[in-house]
Structure 1
Amino acid sequence: MVRDRQLARGARRVREFEAFVAGAAGRLLHTATLLTAEAPDANPRARRLLTLALAHTYARWDRLRGEDPYDCARQYLATRFARSAWHRHGAFGRARPDPRGPLAALTPRERLVLVLRLYDGVAEEQTAALLGLPAEAVHAICDRATATVLHPARQTSPPPVRGRVAPS
């Protein structure tokens, strides 16, 4: 009898988590793709981040107790990205993201703040708490990242070579 209840509880847990994944995985993958600045059709790092975030959320599923599982997954996704960017590039240095990604011109920290604030709609204070930054710093980073995305630096073409005759 106890075993039957455990099996039923386990089956319910799996069904609930599958329903959550069906509803949230697409948006979480898009968030991860924006963070990694990969192209949407070629995003292995984003898929890895999503897999880790979903695994973490599933491991905590029974302990969420009223918490929003999407918030839990997004928080893990953001902190995992921040940690990997820190270790890979040192203090959120400039990464070499896929140049086709829409946010490729931003640093990892700028991408993280911009995605949390503008794409996911996380409040400035919550973003600051999640990243361990003052709210003013989050505000400044978000403003700078928004300006960079809205007004990208023009790529200059190399100056023409003078004195050389083009072959006929």
Structure 2
Amino acid sequence: MRDRQVARNARRAREFEAFVAGAAGRLLHAATLLTAEAPGGNPRARRLLTQALAHTYARWDRLRGEDPYECARQHLAGRFARTTWHRYGAFGRARPDPRSPLADLGPQERLILVLRLYEGVAEQQTAALLGLPTERVHTICDRATATLLHPVRPAAPRAMGTKVAPS
């Protein structure tokens, strides 16, 4: 009996290690995009990843045909949303690293954009995960994409003594 349990635990550990070897890099990149940290200095993203992997490992035997990557991604996204809500107010703005490609977006926009475009999660699934209407997810994703594709540039300083022509 004891030998069977030891063998089962060893198999579980090997399976989970194989999962982590294949999925951790992508999940860490997604977490880094969410937190808008620099890729080399991303303690919040690493903490999110660690929590998501710990949650997935705790559920490993109960997944029963569920995709462990989906489980980890859902936990990561949900944890990011809850942490951002509690720490910074209703999807308030943390100070993103200016080197992050998503630094100009708010947390909710980053979350939806990462789920939709980087992770390829369907609009309906994203809406269900976040508790938002599908139309709202669509609008936020469109707005975030437009912000990334057409960033607002600061106005060029005018030279001293030049006059602006009346409109």
TM-score range, shorter chain: over 0.9
CA distance in 2, matches of 1:43, 1:157: 33
Aligned residues: 161
SS of equivalent to 2:51: helix
Q: What residue is the counterpart of 2:98 in the other structure?
A: 99
Query: 1:52-63 residue pairs with structure 2 within 5 A?
Result: 52-63=51-62
CA distance in 1, matches of 2:37, 2:158: 30
Deviates more, 1:19-28 or 1:94-103: 94-103
CA distance in 2, matches of 1:156, 1:40: 30
- Is 1:135–2:143 an aligned residue pair? no
Query: 1:18-97 residue pairs with structure 2 within 5 A?
Result: 18-97=17-96
SS of equivalent to 2:145: helix
- After superposing on structure 2, the runs of 4+ consecutive aligned residues of structure 1 that deviate more than 2 Å are 155-162
Measure how far apart 1:91 and its partner are.
0.8
Measure how far apart 1:71 and its partner are.
0.2
CA distance in 1, matches of 2:17, 2:141: 34
CA shift digits 1:8-61 (9 cap, x unpaired): 000000000000000000000000000001111111111111011001100010
SS of equivalent to 1:56: helix
User: Where does the alignment leave 5 or more consecutive residues of structure 2 unmatched?
Assistant: 162-167
State the AA in 2 paired with 1:113.
I
User: Where does the alignment leave 5 or more consecutive residues of structure 1 unmatched?
Assistant: 163-168
CA distance in 1, matches of 2:54, 2:101: 27
Measure how far apart 1:96 and its partner are.
1.4
| Aligned residues with identical type, % of pairs | 80
Measure how far apart 1:94 and its partner are.
2.2
State the AA in 2 paired with 1:111.
R
CA shift digits 1:48-78 (9 cap, x unpaired): 1101100110001001000000000000000
SS of equivalent to 1:127: helix
Measure how far apart 1:158 and its partner are.
5.6
RMSD: 1.3
The structure-2 alpha-carbon separation of the partners of 1:14 and 1:37, relative to structure 1 and needing over 3 Å to count, comes to: same
> TM-score with structure 1 length normalisation?
0.92
Measure how far apart 1:7 and its partner are.
0.3
